[in-house]
Amino acid sequence: METKHSRTLLEGLAARLDRAKVVSIKDPVTRSGKYSRAADSRPAGGLPAMLDPPGHLVGDHRGRAVSVRLHSGGELKIIVHCDARCRFRITTNNLAARLNLLAGRRVESGIQDFDDRFIIRSQGPFDLGTVFERSDVAQLLPFLEPFFQLTVEPGSMIMMSNVGSGEDTRAEDVRYRLEYMIEFACILEEASSDILSQESHVQENDSEPEGTGK
């Protein structure tokens, strides 16, 4: 994605969020192969300009920290703060994903079309299958598309997708996806909290001696 378009897109997105700003727009390598003046003035040991994301936005929206990065290869990375107690990753259904058993236990969302195109793998002791049994969780998944990877772990939700040259990508399109990510984070937090509360209640009841009760 070209730097000029990245700047325009991210500045447009920042104007649509509660509080956000573009914190870095790196100049790409010139056609001659030499770094631009901005890149030449960087401290020794810095990454080559060609490896830097041409655009990076950080801020807060709906009470959550958010980050959006546009990389020169046409990759879009959106990060939203998420306090859900579960840990899982959703990836495009391909041979590598199917064979990657070390990534965790496979879980299905219950939506046939989505499960045919994506693989959900859960890590840790949390019962993710119970989370996806909730209709409000599963039904929101298609609205997060398109993406090739979605990672959720305590503290963050990270979406990775390809936007190609990005010329047809609008700030409103990115904001739309970010809004759904925030909604998904809220639902996951609620669902995981409910499950943990239920498990705690069951454990308390199991620990009570027979013949006693509250």
Structural domain including 130 reads 3-200
Which residues, given as ranges, of the chain have pLDDT below 70?
Answer: 1-3, 24-54, 102-103, 164-168, 199-214
Classify residue 103: in a domain, yes or no: yes
With CA atoms as reference, report the closest residue to 70 among 24, 17, 18. Answer: 24
Classify residue 127: in a domain, yes or no: yes
Task: Give how far the C-alpha of residue 168 lies from the chain's centroid of Cα atoms, to the nearest Å.
Answer: 21
- The pLDDT tens digits for 124-155 are 777 888 888 888 888 899 899 999 999 999 99
**pLDDT given at position 198:** 72
Taken in order 116, 119, 125, 126, the sign of the CA dihedral is negative
Domain count, the chain: 1
**pLDDT given at position 166:** 55
**pLDDT given at position 210:** 60
- The pLDDT tens digits for 165-175 are 556 678 999 99
Classify residue 214: in a domain, yes or no: no
Classify residue 207: in a domain, yes or no: no
Classify residue 209: in a domain, yes or no: no
Classify residue 205: in a domain, yes or no: no
Classify residue 210: in a domain, yes or no: no
Classify residue 206: in a domain, yes or no: no
**pLDDT given at position 167:** 62
pTM: 0.77
Angle between helices 171-207 and 3-16 (to 10 degrees): 60
**pLDDT given at position 163:** 80
